[in-house]
A and B are shown apart, each in its own frame.
Chain A
C-alpha cells in the first residue's frame, strides 16, 4: 500500500519522466515558439529572465491542480473529462490561433503597427475591420507580461495529453478511496500539483535554451521562427478538430 508521501513522490517522478519525452513534444514547441519571440527585459547583462517561463509553468500547474482537485472531489475521471472535453478542444484551437497570429505579426510580412491605418476621413467598413484586426494582432503579439504568460500556461494546461489523463485517473482513484470529499479534493489537487512540478524542468529547459540562443537562431533562420510558430499553431488547430 502506498503512503501519501510516496504517492506524491510517484506523481512527481511520473511527471519528471514523462516531461522529457512526452510534454516536451506537446508543450515544448509552444514554449520554444513563445521563447523565440520574447522581448528583452531591458536589464543590462541579463536581457532575458526566467520569469516568463516560471509564470508559464505556474499557470499550467494551476490548471492541472484544479482539475486534479475536481477529479479527487468527485472520484470520477470519466464525468469530469466529459465535462471539459469541448473546452479542451476550444483551448487547443485558441492557443493555435494565437500562435498563428503572433507568427504572422512577427514575420515582418505584414505591417501590424499599433497606429491606426485609417485616415480620419475614411468611412469604409472594410478598412475599419482591417484596422481592428491589425490592432488586435498587434496587441496579442506585443503583450508580454507575467500575467499573459500565466494565462497562456493555464490555457496550455487544458491541452489533452495521454500522460496527463493517467495522472487524472490516479487522482480520481485516490479521491474515490478518500474518507471525505474535502480529503479527496486536496489529495487530487496535490497529486496533480506534484505531477505538474515534475513536468516543469524539461519545459523550463526548452524555454531557456530557446531564449538564450534566440539571436543565434533568428540571425541564421530569418523568418523561420515565425513560420515555426505558424506551423505549430496550425497543428494545434488541426488536432483540436480531430480530437
Chain B
C-alpha cells in the first residue's frame, strides 16, 4: 500500500490554512488513507506563504513537510507516496535567524488535545509553580525581564506583584485577545494553535496573584480561536486544573464586538461590564480599581504564552536572550511586499533588515519602509534597517514595537496614502471622548484626503505637523496618543513625497488616483481589445486611447492586458515611452 510507511498526517487547519484550501485537502486525504493512519488537524507553523501545509510522520519517526498541497494539483499523490514533489524546506536564512521557543508546539500538536499538550511538557510549569510559592513565581517572572507583549512594554512581573498585594473578595485577570491592529495575527495564531499554552500562562498568573475570575476578551472576528479556547477550557474544568491551592477559578470567554479602542485596558474593562467601551482616566489603575471595582490585571495573549516557558527554564535562563531592556523572543506577523509572509518568532535585538530581507525574503532594491505597530506605530525607512529591534529603539525612531504587526512597504507604494489609510482607521475608531482625538484626527484625515486628492496645499502639510503633537498630548488613552504616529513618522522620513503631492501635484508611486492617469503604450499594444471589452465605464476608445475623464482608475484594463502595456502615469502627461522605469522609479 502506498501509505504503509505513513503513521501520522498533520494538516495545518488554522485560519490561514483553511483560507488557502486545507479543508478540502483534509477531506481528500481522509478519504484516501487506511484506518491505521492518524490524520490530525493541527495549527500553523508560521509559513503562511506555503499553505496549505501537510506534514507526514513516518513509522521511523521522520517528519516530511509538503507545501501548497491543494486538493486538485496532484500534491496529495506526492504526500501519500512520500514523493519528492511539493516537499517543503524552510528557507535557510529564516531557519538560521528564527528562534522558536514560544511557538515550539504550534502546528505540531492537535490544538484541542490536552493529552498531546501534556505529553509535550504542557502543564508541567503549572505543577512546578504550585509546588512553590506565589512569591517565587512572581520573582521568576521579574527576573525574566518579560515586558507586556501587547505593545505597552510594561514589566509583567511588576504588574503581577501589584495585584498580588491587593486584598479583595475577588481579583480579576483579563487576557487581552482583542487583536485589533490591522495587520497583526500573532495572538490569533497562538489561540488557534496552542490554546492550552495561553491558558496555562493565565492559570500560573492566577496562582501567583490570587486572581479568582479569569476573562479572555477575544475579537468576534476570530471564530476558530474562540472555538479552540472553549474546548481547551472545558478540558481544564474536566481535569480540575482550574482548582489552585483549594481555590476554584472561573474562566470566561467574552467576545468583543468590533471596537478597536477596546484594546485599551480601561475601555476593555468597561466593555466587559456591558457598557460602551470608552477609556477612563488613570489613576486609579485597574490593579486598584478595575472590573466591577475589583482589582484587575490585564495581560496580552503573547505575554501569557511566554509564562510557561519562563517557569520551566527559569527567569535567569530566559533573560539570557535579548537586549539590555527587552528580553526573550517576539512574535511578528510579517506581511506586505515580500516573498515569505508569515508568523515569525525572533530574538529581541535582531535587526529590521534581518527580519525583512533574510527571513521575509524581500528584495533589497524594492523595499522602501516597514510599518510597525499598526495604526499606533510608524513607518521606518530602509536606511534605519540596521537598528536592533526592541521596545526602546523603535520608539526612538518614532515608531513602536506594538503588538507585532510588521508590514513591508515596497517602493511602488505612496507613503502619504499609507498615512491617510491609518488616519482613516483611527478617526473612525476614536471613541469620541477626548476632543483632540475625536476632532483632531478627523481634521488630520481631511488634510490627508486633500493632499492625496490633488487639492492639498503647503498649509495642509504644516497643519499636520502642528496638529499631530496636539492630538498626542490632548488624548487620554493610547489610541489618541499614538494616532498621529503614522503621519508624523512619514513626515519625518518621507517629507519629499508630501512636497511632491502639494507642490508638483505628483504622486511618484502613481497610487493617488487624483494625480494619476491611465495610458496605453501604443508601440507595444497588440490591439487585442481585451481592455475595451473589460472596461466597466467604456473609457477605452476603438483606437486604444483611454479617456481619463471617464476612467475610474479601477485597474481592470491593467489586470487584463496580456502584454503589460497599460500603466498608471503622471496626470496630464499621457504615456511615457520610458513608463515602466518611471512607474517604479522613486524620487
Partners in one complex: no
